[in-house]
């Protein structure tokens, strides 16, 4: 069984979406300084690295991250490689696919140390087409699944966006996805560990 970790490592100074909090991981108690144990503190935004969006991210009063269905976040998925995240990308999704991960030129942006605003993202029309095909989860290889219209369309239809995936070492094909976000009550998003198991 081959397990592929598609999560972005969390570290101080890592790239975050423009305007999101910076990441600070620091040791607050250290054995090297005479303490009995090493203890660290993590300060970061819930949309850091690999994470899921909850409906309340764009819909006031909607469900938080703790209410996301684990059934949607775990199961068979398809990885499809496309040059753009427009309506043509939707046509590349195999019929009957409920979980789709898009590998795009965005994957190469993980080598950058600063946020890049010119990245592939879904627009409202592409998001609507995905909803129409019965997709329940959409994963992308950079820090946002799409523009505001795309977010409203997906989240309003109960589709779970998984953002910030590292798909550089992943070949297109069929996998089992296991994505477990932190159970943050009422939160608009949650960091997650995501893996693929080759089927």
Run means of pLDDT, 10 residues per run, the chain, 199 residues: 96 96 97 98 98 98 98 98 96 97 97 95 98 98 98 98 97 98 98 95
Widest distance between CA atoms in the chain: 60
How many helical (H) and strand (E) elements, i.e. helices and strands, does the chain have?
A: 4, 10
Residue 148 CB: number of other CB atoms within 10 A?
10
The CATH code for residues 3-8+46-198 is 3.50.30.50
57 is catalytic: yes
From 51, 57, 151, 178, the catalytic residue: 57
* Residue boundaries of the structural domains of the chain: 3-8+46-198
* Average pLDDT taken over every residue of the chain: 97
CA 49/CA 100 separation, integer angstroms: 19
Predicted pLDDT at 199: 75
Predicted pLDDT at 71: 98
Q: What is the pTM of this model?
A: 0.97
HSE at residue 88, side-chain half, CA atoms within 13 A, is: 6
* Beta strand segments in 34-169, E: 39-43, 51-53, 74-81, 99-103, 137-140, 160-163
Predicted pLDDT at 73: 98
Predicted pLDDT at 90: 96
Predicted pLDDT at 1: 87
Who's near 56: CB < 8 A, 6+ residues apart?
62, 63, 64, 186, 187, 188
């Amino acid at each position: 069984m081959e397990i592929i970790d598609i999560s972005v490592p969390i570290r101080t100074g890592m790239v975050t979406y423009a305007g999101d909090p910076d990441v600070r991981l620091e040791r607050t108690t250290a054995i090297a300084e005479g303490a009995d144990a090493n203890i660290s503190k993590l300060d970061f935004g819930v949309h850091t690295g690999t994470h899921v969006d909850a409906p309340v991210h764009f819909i006031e009063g909607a469900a938080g991250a703790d209410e996301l269905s684990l059934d949607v976040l775990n199961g068979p998925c398809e990885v499809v490689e496309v040059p753009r995240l427009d309506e043509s990308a939707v046509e590349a999704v195999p019929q009957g696919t409920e979980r789709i991960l898009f590998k795009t030129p965005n994957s190469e942006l993980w080598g950058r140390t600063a946020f890049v605003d010119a990245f592939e993202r879904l627009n409202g029309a592409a998001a609507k087409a995905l909803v129409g095909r019965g997709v329940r989860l959409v994963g992308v290889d950079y820090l946002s699944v799409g523009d505001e219209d795309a977010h409203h369309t997906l989240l309003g239809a109960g589709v779970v966006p998984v953002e910030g995936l590292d798909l550089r070492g992943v070949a297109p094909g069929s996998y089992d996805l296991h994505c477990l976000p932190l159970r943050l009550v009422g939160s608009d998003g949650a960091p997650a560990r995501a893996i693929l198991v080759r089927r």
